[in-house]
Structure 1
Amino acid sequence: MPVSIAIVDDHYLVAEALSNLIQKFDNYEILLIAANGRNFLDQLQRGNQLPDITLLDLNMPIMDGFETALQLRQQYPSVRVLALSMTDREDHIVRMVRNGARGYLLKDCRPEELHQALDDVMTKGFYYSDFLTSQLVRNLNAPLGNGSISSFNLNEREYEFLKVACSELTYNDIADKMCVSPRTIDGYREAVFQKMNVRTRVGMVIEAVRHGLIDL
């Protein structure tokens, strides 16, 4: 069956252009278009079929993308959200990720990037571009506190590794900083990846931000 897409954007021409573009992609179909988050949720609450992916604008009247993503995460967790925005503000990116977005695209991206993002969200569960990763990693600061470690049952050294790894340091640099061998760092990495159910360093960073293990 084709992957069903919902487009939530208050700019009619943008929504129509996205619809026309996506319908040219193999194995994708447009399920519905909504002008804002409230209208979208109303359509879902009337019993309409749930989309596989929702392309969600951030700035909309009545209910914006931030609140809509949060409502979807709480009420319809199976719906994958891919955020769309004209801006690359870091606070917007992090807020959307925390509210459940599986990726973040700028509206001036190329059609092939949109296609790749849709494919990745369906096959991998997320789309983290180099742009998104650099925006998140570059400005990660201190954690919220040790109470959040319990989210993934990390011990103190694993948590310390997580904090240091949410940076642009190489694993060898992390070993030097933590005063351990690279092999020990490999062990920390494998343990943290397993406990956080991620397969990549990027995925680890995103999950750490989403669960409040680190903060901006």
Structure 2
Amino acid sequence: MKKTIVIVDDHLLIAKALEGIIDNFKDFKVIYVAENGKDLIDKFKENNEIPDIILMDISMPIMDGFESVLWLKKNHPKIKVMALSMQGDDNSVIKMIKNGAKGYLLKNTHPKDLEEALIRLKDDGFFYPEWAEKIIFSNINNDKSNEKAVRISDREKEFLTYTVTELSYKEIAEKMCCSPRTVESYRDQLCEKLDLKTRVGLAVFALKNGFAES
């Protein structure tokens, strides 16, 4: 079954062009378009289908991407939001991610790269290109995690070394000679121990604490 997508962008021509591109992807389909966050909320209230993924522009009138993704985080946390914007500055990237976005792409991204990013978002729960990861790793503050005295097993340490790679959880399981369910258990245990919520957070922790090379 195809994953459903909603595009939130005040530029209708761009949104419709993007819709046409995505509808040619094997695993995804666009179910509707919203002009801004307020329009999206209204469509939800009108009993429109709740999507699996939202592609969110940042600069929009009435209710911009920052405010919209924060609202989604509080009201529809299961929806995966991918920021899709012309803005690639540090402040925009960090603010969108802190507000709840699980991915970030620029609008000049090639359609093939967009499809790959959506697949990664679907399978791994997040996707950040290399340029965005560098911003995240240099700006997200995990001092709270560093202050916690926790016991991390050797297998959990091994898992941490893979969090900074582009390997999927299935591929990590193959590397560690265990089942994907076991890898998910390592992830969940570490997130609980370190008070983290995402693989990005685990990767930052791994880099800052010497479990992986930067």
Q: 1:194 to 1:140 in 2, by over 3 A?
A: closer
Contact 1:56–1:82 (Cα < 8 Å) also in 2:
yes
Q: TM-score by structure 2 length?
A: 0.70
Secondary structure at the residue paired with 1:101? Answer: coil
Give the aligned residue type for 2:84: L
The structure whose Rg is larger is 1
Matching residue within 117, 132, 149 for 1:155: 149
* Larger deviation, residues 108-117 vs 130-139: 130-139
Q: TM-score by structure 1 length?
A: 0.70
The reply on whether 1:38 has 2:42 as its aligned counterpart is no
Query: What is the distance in 1 between the residues matched to 2:25 and 2:205?
Result: 30
User: What are the within-5 Å matches in structure 2 for residues 67-216 of structure 1?
Assistant: 67-139=67-139, 143=143, 148-149=144-145, 154-155=148-149, 195-196=193-194, 202-205=200-203
Contact 2:8–2:34 (Cα < 8 Å) also in 1:
yes
Q: Which runs of 5+ in 1 are unaligned?
A: 159-164, 166-189, 209-216
Query: What is the distance in 2 between the residues matched to 1:206 and 1:43?
Result: 36
Query: What is the distance in 1 between the residues matched to 2:198 and 2:100?
Result: 18
Alignment partner, residue 22 of structure 2: 22
Secondary structure at the residue paired with 1:29? Answer: strand
Identity over aligned residues, as a percent? Answer: 36
Q: Alpha-carbon deviation of 1:20?
A: 0.4
Relative contact order, CA 8 A, sep 6+: which one is greater? Answer: 1
4+ long deviations beyond 6 Å: none
Query: What is the distance in 1 between the residues matched to 2:53 and 2:205?
Result: 20
Secondary structure at the residue paired with 1:105? Answer: strand
Cα shift readout 1:131-161 (whole Å, capped 9, x = no counterpart): 1111222345684xxxx45xx9931899xxx
Q: 1:55 to 1:207 in 2, by over 3 A?
A: farther
Structural RMSD (CA): 3.1
Query: What is the distance in 1 between the residues matched to 2:33 and 2:63?
Result: 15
Contact 1:6–1:30 (Cα < 8 Å) also in 2:
yes
Q: May I ask how many residue pairs the two structures share in their alignment?
A: 172
Q: 1:199 to 1:89 in 2, by over 3 A?
A: closer
Alignment partner, residue 56 of structure 2: 56
